[in-house]
Structures are given as C-alpha cells and as structure tokens.
C-alpha cells in the first residue's frame, strides 16, 4: 500500500473526513442570507469560529464575502457580518 492510500485510510478511521464535511456544511449554511444564518453570523462566537477554522485568513487573502467586511476597530482580524 502506498503512503497516499494509508494516510487516507487513517484519516477515514479517525473520522477526520466526517469532521471536514461537517465544517464545510456549516460554512455553507452560514453564508446563506436567511434570518437564522444572519443571527448566527452576528453572534460574537462566530468571530472566534471563523478565525479558528481559517475563514478570516482566507477572506483576507482572497476577498471578503458579500455579507461580511473587515472591521479594523475590532483588531487586526476583526470583522462584522450582516
């Protein structure tokens, strides 16, 4: 078995792929312009979540989504969302 397949098998065994899929689903859901997702984006915990999973770094590098924008007054990684 080559290293690529053994690494994939190990990730699968550890449920890393399931976790990645859940994060992707959560990120997609939070990007929707629905009232419930707006409320979630405006929750202070969303700031930490977005930074922890790398969304803020991604936005800084590739551009901010329509529903969020940087807020330098909140710090170097601060942002606000609608």
Mean pLDDT per 10-residue section of the chain, whose length is 82 residues: 56 65 70 82 85 87 90 92 87
Provide the pLDDT for residue 54. Answer: 85
Q: How far apart are CA 38 and CA 42, in angstroms?
A: 6
Domain boundaries, the chain: 1-30, 33-82
pLDDT of residue 69: 94
CB 53 within 8 A of CB 60: no
Give the pLDDT confidence score for residue 60 in this predicted structure: 92
- pLDDT for the residue 5: 55
């Amino acid at each position: 078995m080559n290293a690529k397949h053994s690494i994939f098998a190990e990730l699968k065994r550890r449920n890393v792929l399931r976790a990645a899929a859940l994060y992707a689903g959560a990120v997609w859901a939070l990007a929707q312009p629905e009232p419930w997702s707006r409320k979630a984006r405006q929750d202070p915990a969303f700031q930490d979540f977005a930074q922890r999973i790398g969304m803020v770094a991604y936005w800084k590098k590739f551009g901010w989504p329509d529903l969020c924008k940087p807020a330098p007054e909140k710090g170097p990684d601060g942002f606000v969302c609608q």
